[in-house]
A and B are shown apart, each in its own frame.
Chain A
Amino acid sequence: MWTRLLQRLLILGLMLLGVSLLAFLVPYVSGGDPVRTILMSRVRDLAVDPAAVEAMRIHLGLDRPLPVQYGAWLWQALHGDLGYSFASGRPVALEIGRALGVSITLALTALGIAAAVAIPLGTLAATRPGGTVDSATTLMVQTFVATPEYWLAPMGILVFALHLGWLPSAGWTSWTALVLPATVLSLRPMAYFTQVTRAAMMDVLQAPYITAARSRGLSMRQTVMRHGLRNGSLPVVTFFALWLAGLLGGSVVIEVIFAIPGMGRLLYEAVVNRDVPMLQGGFVSIVALSILINTVADMLYVALNPAVRSGHAH
C-alpha cells in the first residue's frame, strides 16, 4: 500500500508540474506577445507605444530566459500568488478561493441529493434483480445519463421559475437559488451511484454472511439494513469523491446558465475575456484539486476495505 501511495504521489507531482508548465506557456502558445496583450488589456488601445512595451517587458521580468521565468512563476504560485486578473484587476488566488467555496457548496448539495436517492434505490433494485423496481430503475438510470443538462436546466427555469414562479431563475443569493441547479446537476451522478450501489449490493447479497444472517431468521429487510448496506455502499465513497472532483470544474454549463459564481463560470469567463492569468490559475487549481481529491478517495477506499488493503482483490 505504501509503495503504491508513493508511486502515486510521484506521478501526481510530475503531472502537476506538466500541467503547470502547460498553463505557464499559454501566452506564448496562443500567439502574440504577452507584454502587448497585457498592455492592451490595461490601456484598451490597439496601438501601444513600442518603447512602453520594452519598458514593461523589463519591468515584469519578461526579458529573462523562459526557464527562469517559469521557475519564478511556479515559486510564486506555490506561495499562493497567481497574479492579477486582466478583467477585474483583483488577485487570481482570491477570486479562485471565493469561486471554489461556491462550487463546493453546489457540488456537495447535488451529490447529497444523488446519494440520498441512489443508495436506497440501488439497494431496492438489487434485492429483486429483474423485478419491476429493478427494470424501472434501469430505465431511469439510462434516461438520466442521456439527458443534456443544458436542455433540462432551461426547461426547469421555464417551468419552475417563469411559469410557476416557485424558484428564482438564476443567481446565488438565497438557498432557493440552489434548488434547481443542484437538482439538475444531481441526475447524472444519481444514475451512476444507483448502478454502483446495485452492483455492489448484488455482490454483497451473495456473500456467505448474508446467507448466515438469513438462516438465523433475520428478514430480508433486517439483513440488508444490518449487513448489506454498510458493505454495499462502500464503492459509493470512491464514486462520490470522483464526482466531487468532476463537478468542481465540470459544472461549467450549469454555472453559466444559472449565473452561479463558481469555478466553472470563472474558467468560462476567463476564456471569453481572454483573461490569461485567470485561465492559468483556474485550470491549474481545478486539475490539482481533482487529482488530490481522487487520490485521497482511493486511499480512503483502501483503508476502509480490508480485502484491497491486504492486496488480495487487485
Chain B
Amino acid sequence: MRIDNPSQGVAASALLPMQPRHAAALRLWRFLSGRHWTFRTGVVILVALVTTLILAPWIVPHDPAVQNLMARLSAPSAEHWLGTDHLGRDLFSRLLVGGRFTVTIAMVTVLLSFTVGTLIGVVAGRGAGGVLDEITMRVIDVLISIPDVVVAIFLVAIFGPGYATLIASLTVIGWTPFARLARGLTLAINAQGYIQAAEVLGCSRSFIILRHVIPNIIRPIAAVSFLRFGHKLITVGALSFLGLGVQPPAADWALMLADAQPYVERLPILMIAPGLAIFVAALSVTWIGHGLEIEARDGDSGDE
C-alpha cells in the first residue's frame, strides 16, 4: 500500500526556505525514487521531449523548412548531424520540431475525452440502474466498437484536414473508454460510507460528484489517459502518414516517414529517425501510464 504523503514535500520545503529550487528537486527525487525504472525513464523522456518541442524553433541548428537541392539526401556529417532529406532539408532540425502538431493534437484529444468521458461516466454511475444510465451504457457499447481511424478519415473527407476536424473526430469515439471506466469506479464507491453520509446530510448531487466521487476515482482514470495518449500519438501519426492529418510542408514525424519511403534503400536513417521519435514518445507515456495504473490499483485495494 503506497500513498503519496504530501506532508513529506511540504516538510522538505519548510526545512529549506531559502532554497526553493533545491526543495523542488528533492520533491521530484522523492516522487521518482522507489518507482519502477520504466516509470522513471518515461517521466524523464516525456519532460525532455516536451521541453524540446517547446524550445525547438529556437534551438534548431538549421531552418527545418529551408531546402537545399544541391545537398539532397546527404549522409550524416558535422554540418547535418543526421543528414538531409530528399529536398536537402536538415533531418535533425526537422526531427526536433516534428512532434509539435502530433503531440498537441493527441494531448488535446485525450484531455477532452478524459473530461467528457469522466463526467458522463460519473453521472451515469451515480444514477446506476436508471433510464439515463441504461441509455448511456448501450450507446457506449455501440460507439466503442467503431474504429476511430475510420471516423477520422470520413470526417476529414467531408470537412478537410485541420486541427478541429482531427480533434473532434478522435474525441467522438475517444470518450467512451473513459466513461466506461469512470462508471465502473463510481459504482464501486457508491456504497461507501462517506458517500452515504454525504447523501444523508443532504449534499447536492453535483457537490457529491465533484467533492467526493471524482477525487476518489481520478487516479486510475489519469493512468488510463496516459495509455490513451500513447495510442492517440500513433493514430494521429497514421492519419498524417496517409496525408489526412498534418499537411506538408510542415515538419512532422509521420509525414517525414511517408516522404522517406522512396529513398529508404539509399538512406535508411530518413525512415529510422522519425519512426524512432514516435516510438520513444509513445513508449514514454505508456510507461508512465502503466506505472500510475499499478500504483492506483495497489493504493485502492491494499493487498491484492
Contact = CB atoms under 8 A, between A and B. Distances in A.
Interface of A: 7-8, 10-12, 15, 23, 26, 29-30, 138-139, 142-143, 145-152, 154-155, 158, 162, 242, 245-250, 252-253, 256, 267-268, 270-272, 279, 283, 286-287, 290-291, 293-295, 298
B286 A11 contact: no
B211 to A, nearest CB: 28
Interface string B187-230: 00000000000000000000000000000000000000001001
A11 B142 contact: yes
Interface of B: 38, 134-135, 138-139, 141-147, 149-150, 153-154, 156-159, 227, 230-231, 234, 237-238, 241-244, 254, 257-258, 260-261, 264-265, 268, 271-272, 274-276, 278-279, 282-283, 286-287, 290
Given A11-B138, A155-B271, A271-B156, A146 B150 contact: no
Contacts of A271: 153, 156-157, 244
A286 B158 contact: no
A102 to B, nearest CB: 16
Contacts of B282: 145-148
Contact of A142 (B38, B138, B149): B38
Given A146-B230, A155-B275, A158-B264, A249 B147 contact: yes
B142 A145 contact: no
B147 A154 contact: no
Q: Which of B38, B147, B257 has the most CB of A within 10 A?
A: B147
Contacts of B135: 11
B237 A150 contact: yes
B157 A148 contact: no
A253 B147 contact: no
Nearest to B149: A250
Nearest to B230: A146
B271 A256 contact: no
B contacts with A: majority SS:
helix
B286 A290 contact: no
Given A142-B283, A148-B279, A252-B242, A279 B157 contact: yes
Contact of B134 (A7, A158, A247): A7
Contact of A7 (B138, B144, B227, B237): B138
B147 A151 contact: no
13 contacts: A11-B141, A142-B286, A145-B231, A146-B282, A148-B257, A150-B237, A151-B275, A154-B264, A268-B153, A279-B154, A287-B146, A290-B146, A293-B145
A250 B237 contact: no
Contacts of B154: 23, 267, 279, 283
B257 A142 contact: no
Contacts of A139: 38
B106 to A, nearest CB: 12
Contacts of B150: 249-250, 252, 267, 283, 286-287
